[in-house]
Amino acid sequence: MSKPICSMTGREFEHGDGIWDDGEWISWEWINTQLEDEPLDSLCEIEHAPSREEFPYRILEHTEIFYELVSLAERYYENTGRYLQVWGELGEMYAEIEFGLRRHASMHPGSDGTIRGELVEVKTISPEKASDRVVVKRCGDFSKLLIVKIDRDFQFQAKLFDRSSLRGGVGPYYKARFSTPESS
């Protein structure tokens, strides 16, 4: 029997020295490097550094990048009065950190990734949007809808809805609200 290969490092490891997660092998060696406390020191320089309780599924470096992007978007707005159009990417990164979203490869049709093995579509509401509604294609291959809302102070909130609770919309689209999955 061949040795498993860690999808994060590309290195072989012995059976029992890793886990099978969402269709791929991940070595305990790689996981342990992500859980070391030392990288948290670098997060202390970030103004809104998260605690482990706030972001239980995070990978430390990815979280650092997320906060740097949010900080850059905030600075850009302060400097120009215009928003940097990175909302979808920030929403999906937040979903990775906060909910453990495992994203599909780019341009994957039907959903953005999985959370605990369920297909998830992520929709982001930007500070520019007056409404808390999103539109989602009915033909999408997802069982959960995650709506991420970013306010004018660059604060993030998110809610996860079952697809079965989506009722609004006509034709090929559902309409959903951040406050409730039904539309009015």
CATH of the domain at 45: 3.40.600
Whether 58 maps to a domain, the answer reads: yes
Q: Considering the chain, what is the average pLDDT of its residues? A: 80
Number of domains observed in the structure of the chain:
2
Instruction: Specify whether 70 is located in the same domain as 116.
Output: yes
Per residue in 44-87, pLDDT (tens digit) is: 344 444 554 555 555 677 888 899 999 999 999 999 999 999 99
Clarify whether residues 94 and 72 are in a common domain: yes
Q: pTM of the prediction?
A: 0.67
**Overall average pLDDT of the 103-128 stretch:** 91
Same domain, 45 and 4: no
pLDDT for 22 equals 65
Q: Which band of pLDDT confidence, cut at 50, 70 and 90, is reported for residue 42?
A: very low
DSSP-assigned letters across all residues of 21-81 = ETTEEEEHHHHHHHH-STTHHHHTTSTTPPPTTT-TT--HHHHHHHHHHHHHHHHHHHHHS
Q: Is residue 95 included in any domain, yes or no?
A: yes
- Rounded distance between C-alpha atoms, residue 148 and residue 21, angstroms: 25
- Give the residues across from 120 on adjacent strands: 113, 144
Residue 184 lies in a domain: no
The pLDDT-based confidence of 118 (bands split at 50, 70, 90) is very high
Q: Say whether both 128 and 51 belong to one domain.
A: yes
Domain span at 2: 1-35
Q: Clarify whether residues 16 and 45 are in a common domain.
A: no
Pair (88, 173) in one structural domain: yes
Q: What is the pLDDT of residue 38?
A: 40
Do 105 and 142 belong to one domain?
Answer: yes
With tokens 């959370």, the residue in question is: 115
Both 94 and 120 in a single domain? Answer: yes
First to last CA, the chain: 57
> Does residue 182 belong to any structural domain of this protein?
no
Average pLDDT over residues 143-155: 95
Do 139 and 83 belong to one domain? Answer: yes
* Residue 136 is assigned to a structural domain of this protein: yes
